[in-house]
Amino acid sequence: MKFSIKKDQNNFYFKMLVPAVLFFIIFIIYPIYFNIRLSLEDATLRTIMLPQRPFIGLENYLTIIRDPLFKKALINSLIFTTGSVFFQFTIGFSLALFLFKKFPLNKFVRSSIILGWVLAPIVVGTVWSWLLNSDYGLFNYLLKSLNIITQEIRWLTNPNIALRGVVITNVWFGIPFNMLLLTGGLSSLPQDIYEAAKIDGTNTFQKFIYITLPLMRQTIGATLMLGVIYTFRVFDLIWVMTRGGPVNATTTLPIWSYQLSFDFFNLGEGAAVANILFMIMLVIALIYIKFFAGKEE
Amino acid sequence: MKISKHKTLLFTLISIIIFVLYMLPIYWMFISGLKASSEIYSIPPTLWPRSPLFNELYNVFKMAIPYLINSFIIAVSVNLVTLFIGATGGYALARLKVSWMKWILLAFLIAQMLPNILRVTPLFVIFRDLGLIDNYISVILAISTFTIPFAIIMLRAAFLEAPVELEEAALIDGASRFRAFFSISLPIVKPSMIIVSTITFIWSYGDFIFSISFLRNRAMQPATVGLYNFIGAEVIHWNRVMAFATLTALPLIILFLIFQKHIVEGLAAGAFD
């Protein structure tokens, strides 16, 4: 009797799992497999309607790697990611530390800043395109009134500078995420260590270097890794601001993959670029999961 | 940590400066949308519109309405799919005691981290073959590929806290297993359901890549795609573009004001699982 209840119970749990497993196989696993197959096929506008597209092995990958744009897109991706993560993290951590002190408005300011994360990337990209407008944008105007620059910077139209323009935007967008995760880490620190340090006469800087940083190692590592994972895949923000231009100055791997698939309708090559990106991200994600995931609480 | 009185004043002042600096882009979006075409290009820029043009905002609003409705159709539908599959799947994974659980959770965690660019090309070909291009279903399913893994991870954690004994009591009273799940355990995880629902709304409302790739018919496009096309069409009228951006952002800002606590919790929990 007891055994049959147990069995019946497990049957019910398996039944409840069916929608999730079906969805996962059809819409997540299958597309990944499909993308690998697509990257090995001659999938262009000409062949896309055919029931059987020609299999061409690693041809798409070879074409991609020989293309000078591959190196450029990879380097752009690396610069975009390291630049964004470095500043998001530094500013986010400073804000987390500062707003962790107790004074009126600290919680209000902290929770208001989260609004940045809520806005759609397309809205953020649009607003910053206007702020960074060379002739009439607020950003150049403020820099000029503060005498930091004398001539307008063409943030999004100068090929040597455009990548910095999108990084600035993405830093603004990423600050709340970093601040929030690091605040979480700060609030889980044992306060009595600080009390003891105070008695020993340690100053603020020493406390930060010798107590806060070592104790926060796990949170800091996790925040940086997640920052890299979420920044490496950014598409919307760059697409709305520059579409990868001017002259590919802001073409990252996701942007290039999309252009190949949807502008040139070379779906095989677009899939190949996406798979290279996938491999890079999978390695980073697995490192993150191995060392940081689930160890927060 | 206690701090002295004049330090408190100083810190409060600094925090006001931080607030003003961070909010400046959002403020600038609002007021740029209320300026006249001539005023938007004046140098120095005006910090407050000389005479706020609400009728211009209204004109853009009339154009934006169909796009906003589409955004809501997509966001609400993704929410329904995500909550259904997330709740049933999260429940099953919380209750099943099997050795391969770790691998399932790992798979969902990786699925959540995958770049959308990886899914957009294959899903486009798959949906094209199924005749689902220019159909909301394609976009709803595509967005669900990253909201569902998040929902399952969040809701599994919540169901782990829901005591199985309560359900057993209901079963003895003659309720079916599904009824016991639906009317006993589901209400217990309501706070987590609200978090999942809010974050899902933010993500699906903000979707761009799937909507612009799968919805070619303008009458079906959401506000994000509408805004993107609007920039191209109105390239010299930044005031009108900012008005459109304001209207696109407004539902998210309202959502933020109501569900701030849930968003903060979801953001932290979703990131770290």
Least-confidence region, from A192-196, B36-40, B166-170: A192-196
Q: What is the pLDDT of residues B202-239, one digit of tens each?
A: 999 999 999 999 999 999 999 999 999 999 887 778 99
Q: What is the mean pLDDT of residues A138-161?
A: 93
Q: Does the residue B8 lie in any domain?
A: no
Q: Does the residue B106 lie in any domain?
A: yes
Domain span holding position B211: 54-272
Q: What is the mean pLDDT of residues A168-189?
A: 93
What is the domain partition of chain A in residue ranges? Answer: 65-291
Architecture of the CATH domain A65-291: Orthogonal Bundle (1.10)
Nearest CA in chain B to A112: B19
pLDDT confidence bin for A4, thresholds 50/70/90:
low
Please state, in angstroms and rounded to a whole number, the distance separating the CA atoms of residues B85 and B151. 8
pLDDT at residue A1, rounded to an integer: 45
Q: What is the mean pLDDT of residues A46-57?
A: 83
The two three-digit tokens of residue B128, written as one number: 């094209």
Q: Evaluate if residue A144 carries a pLDDT over 70.
A: yes
| Matching residue, tokens 């074409």 | A63
pLDDT at residue B170, rounded to an integer: 84
pLDDT at residue B271, rounded to an integer: 56
Residue A114 is nearest to which of B119, B149, B264, comparing CB atoms?
A: B264
Three-class SS state of A55: strand
Provide the CB-side half-sphere exposure for A245 (13 A, CA).
8
Most confident of A157-161, A210-214, A215-219, B96-100: A157-161
Residue A111's nearest CA partner among B127, B181, B227, B267 is: B267
Q: Which letter, b or e, does each residue of B103-133 get, where b requires 16 or more Cβ atoms within 10 Å of its Cβ? A: ebbeebbbbbbbbbbbbbbbbbbbbeeeebb
Q: What is the pLDDT of residues A254-297, one digit of tens each?
A: 999 999 999 999 999 999 999 999 999 999 888 888 887 655 43
Q: Does the residue B246 lie in any domain?
A: yes
Say which residue, A69 or B169, is predicted with more confidence.
A69
Q: What is the mean pLDDT of residues A55-79?
A: 95
Q: Does the residue B70 lie in any domain?
A: yes
pLDDT confidence bin for A47, thresholds 50/70/90:
confident
Q: Does the residue B58 lie in any domain?
A: yes
Residues 232 to 271 of A: which have CB under 8 A from any B CB?
232-233, 235-236, 239-240, 253-254, 257-258, 261-262, 267, 270-271
The two three-digit tokens of residue A210, written as one number: 């010798």
Residue B72's nearest CA partner among B190, B207, B194 is: B207
Mean pLDDT of chain A: 91
pLDDT at residue B2, rounded to an integer: 55
Q: Evaluate if residue A189 carries a pLDDT over 70.
A: yes
Q: Does the residue B43 lie in any domain?
A: no
Q: Which of A7, A12, A14, A16 best probes binding to B when mutated, by most B CB atoms within 10 angstroms?
A: A16
What is each CA distance from A227 to A111, B162, B232, in whole angstroms?
Answer: 20, 33, 31
Cβ(A163)–Cβ(A249) below 8 Å: yes
Q: Does the residue B3 lie in any domain?
A: no
Residue A240's nearest CA partner among A172, A171, A174, A165 is: A165
Q: What is the mean pLDDT of residues A135-140?
A: 92
Please state, in angstroms and rounded to a whole number, the distance separating the CA atoms of residues A49 and A34. 16
pLDDT at residue B97, rounded to an integer: 86
- Chain B residues inside the 8 Å CB shell of A27: 123, 141-142, 144-145
Residue B202's nearest CA partner among B79, B120, B112, B25 is: B79
Please state, in angstroms and rounded to a whole number, the distance separating the CA atoms of residues A241 and B258. 30
pLDDT at residue B3, rounded to an integer: 63
Cβ(B155)–Cβ(B194) below 8 Å: no
The domain that holds B90 is classified in CATH as 1.10.3720.10
For chain A, say whether B89 makes contact (Cβ under 8 Å): yes
**Complex-level ipTM:** 0.92
For chain A, say whether B58 makes contact (Cβ under 8 Å): no
The one-letter amino acid code at B143 reads: I
Domain count, chain B: 1
Three-class SS state of A41: strand
pLDDT at residue B273, rounded to an integer: 46
